[in-house]
Amino acid sequence: MNRQAGAFMSTMGRAKLEVVAEQARDINPEVELELFPRGVQEEDIDRFLEGVDLYIDGLDFFALAIRRKVFAACQAKGIPAITAAPLGMGMSFLYFDPKGMSFEQYFRMEGQPEYEQYARFAVGLSPAMLNRHYLVAPQAVNLQEKRGPSTPMAIKLCAGFLGTAVLKLLLGRGELPAAPWSLHFDAYQLKFKRCWRPGGNAHPMQRLLLHFMRPIFQGRKKV
């Protein structure tokens, strides 16, 4: 439940889309919403991005196929795209400027098997790996079952950072480094780190991380 805005005991059993739309209208009755009850499907991408000034990635970690298509469409349409991942008690952030390095150029998933795509996505999201030292219940993470818990504080950090990035991009205020830069903050360790990985996952440091991460996604090694 900590993953989801609108997830309360009082909303159990209701569609997330319906609940979140209700909350948005409660905050601003004049807000205009276009809802996609089936989620984002390939045939809906053009309509989903019509008139969009900025794309905020809110897809599940394991929804890689549609995520790659949406980011590719953003690049083609000149739409800035941002994503943030909850990691331990912190978060990582990536910004893809349509004039700069693309999602595919950074993560390099084309032609790779599914487990390799997941490994590349995980390593690309978190080059700093700040949370790796304090994982208390590794058995809760099961990548083969596509299950990975997150903490409430990490979710809120992602939301706050994304909201700030939206403000900066839409108002043209302040610096926001784009990929191959990534930003990482861990509240538990009180650490903030900026990582620069020219070539994305082709960078030597990323290739080394992949060497250790790949067996986890193949199921040959525990987290």
What one-character-per-residue DSSP string does 124-160 give?
HH-SS-TTTT--S-GGG-BTTTTB----HHHHHHHHH
> What predicted TM-score, i.e. pTM, was given to this entire model?
0.92
Using an 8 Å Cβ cutoff, are 199 and 210 in contact?
no
DSSP state, 87? Answer: E
pLDDT-derived band of residue 92, with 50, 70 and 90 as boundaries? very high
Structure tokens at 189: 């360790």
What is the Cα–Cα distance from 83 to 54, expressed in whole angstroms? 11
Write down the pLDDT at residue 181: 98
pLDDT-derived band of residue 213, with 50, 70 and 90 as boundaries? confident
Strands laid side by side in the 90-96 sheet: 55-56, 81-87, 90-96, 181-186, 191-196
pLDDT in tens, 133-181: 776 665 666 666 666 778 889 999 999 999 999 999 999 999 999 999 9
Amino acid identity of residue 159, one-letter, is A
What is the Cα–Cα distance from 37 to 19, expressed in whole angstroms? 12
Rounded to the nearest angstrom, the gap between the alpha carbon of residue 36 and the centroid of all alpha carbons in its chain is: 19
Rounded to the nearest angstrom, the gap between the alpha carbon of residue 223 and the centroid of all alpha carbons in its chain is: 20
Q: Where are the domains of the chain?
A: 1-35, 51-218
Rounded to the nearest angstrom, the gap between the alpha carbon of residue 24 and the centroid of all alpha carbons in its chain is: 21
pLDDT in tens, 96-116: 999 999 999 999 999 999 999
pLDDT in tens, 117-135: 999 999 999 999 888 777 6
Q: Does 222 have pLDDT greater than 70?
A: no
Task: Return phi, psi of residue 161, to 5°.
Answer: -70, -40
Q: Does 201 have pLDDT greater than 90?
A: yes
Query: At the top level of CATH, which class does the domain 51-218 belong to?
Result: alpha beta
Could you list the beta-strand ranges (E) of 39-176: 55-56, 81-87, 90-96
pLDDT in tens, 139-149: 666 666 666 77
Q: What integer best gives the mean pLDDT of the chain? A: 91
State the helix-helix crossing angle for 64-77 and 114-125, rounded to 10 degrees. 60
